[in-house]
Amino acid sequence: MTQASPTPASSPTTPSATLALALELLERPSVTPDDHGCQALMIERLERLGFSVERMTISGIDNFWATRGQHGPTLAFAGHTDVVPSGPESEWTTPPFSPMIDDSGFLRGRGAADMKGSLAAMVTAVERFVVDHPDHDGRLAFLITADEEGPAIHGTRAVVERLRERHEPLEYCIVGEPSSTSHVGDVIKNGRRGSLGGVLKVRGIQGHVAYPHLARNPIHQALAALQALIDEHWDEGNDFFPATSFQISNVHGGTGATNVVPGELEVTFNFRYSTEVTAKALEQRVEALLDAHGLDYRLDWTLNGEPFLTPGGALLDAARHACREVVDEQPMLSTSGGTSDGRFIATLGTQVIELGPVNATIHQIDERIRASDLDTLSRIYETILVRLLT
């Protein structure tokens, strides 16, 4: 693909407040789980607006919870300052942590879309809102972590548990994940599928391939059961979610020798599941199927996240209104994609949506978004605030 020639972000054209903040964040190489000063930059801006900031460093992970206001419903912006590794820097058109705006108006840098651009748009939207509405209704909040792209154990999940323990209300939450497809505001994610992983170990008896009667091949034994899992119809899905899917991601067995029957087979798989089924029900159905095939096995489960859904309500209404007003777009609702930290926040009974930039280049070499999209996104966020907190 032919790239337009890059122009330094510090070109004579003065960047907007949102773009300037995004550039500052993008310059910090905050590869997960290192925040690298991004949160301090955000906290400084929020404290100027009268936010009370609670830093929560949990098992070495930097997080913060910031609030402004005392009464009424709480609307939180949620996001992460950590980014995935850049990959080979030599393959980038320009260094991944030296943000650039090219001649076509694209902002390039690791985290531009996922999700430092959204963080900048959130902060500047709140800055304008507070200036115009210093005595706004409700509470404004920020829930920011540096552990979204990593294990996601000591980040949003842990902060949510602290909020739950002290019965702190959280009615609405906007997660800044890159939800848009073609242009900002064309898609709002109002839910995500659940993710359930399993590691299956089928035990056999190792032996010489020339004496199969003295061995038991776990690969041969497991094939029919695995095919049954692949062919199983788990559910129909519903109006918001596609049918539950089962995928095998890794298969390991054997010693590497061609004349040895393996003693064990290991199979790693994953369910992406809808609200039509529970993780417990999936576990029970898988184990019943394996038992029916007479396998000698061990199965370890990992629940990465339950599905969540915001089918309607004041937040979704406000977000749709904002997209229509700012970009003249009737946004589509979607629950596609992987998991996000919204799955933890939704357990508080919170209305959760994801609304952010175009996601076409997330986690890729030369991650980029149209620079002007950040100002558009900031206006959308501000319009939501006006509708819900004034």
Active site residues: 82, 148
Contact call for residues 248 and 226 (beta carbons, < 8 A):
yes
Q: From CA 69, how far away is CA 140, in angstroms rounded?
A: 7
Relative to beta strand 172-175, strand 74-80 is parallel
C-alpha to C-alpha distance for 176 and 253, rounded to whole angstroms: 41
Cα–Cα dist 153/131, whole Å: 36
- Cβ atoms 68, 52 nearer than 8 A: yes
Ramachandran angles phi, psi of 232, nearest 5°: -65, 140
Cβ contact 268:249 at 8 Å: yes
Strand partners, 160: none
Which helix (H) or strand (E) segment holds residue 198: the answer is strand 194-203
Contact 93, 358 (CB under 8 A): no
Which residues pair with residue 64 across a beta bridge?
55, 144
For the chain, how many helices (H) and strands (E)?
A: 9, 20
CA nearest to 61, candidates 39, 86, 45: 39
Distance (Å, whole) CA 368 – CA 371: 9
Strand duo 52-58 + 106-108: pairing: unpaired
Place of tokens 């419903």: 73
Q: Which two tokens stand for residue 240?
A: 């918001």
| Residue 209 CB neighbour total at 10 angstroms | 12
Apex 285 CA angle, 282 and 290, nearest 5 = 125
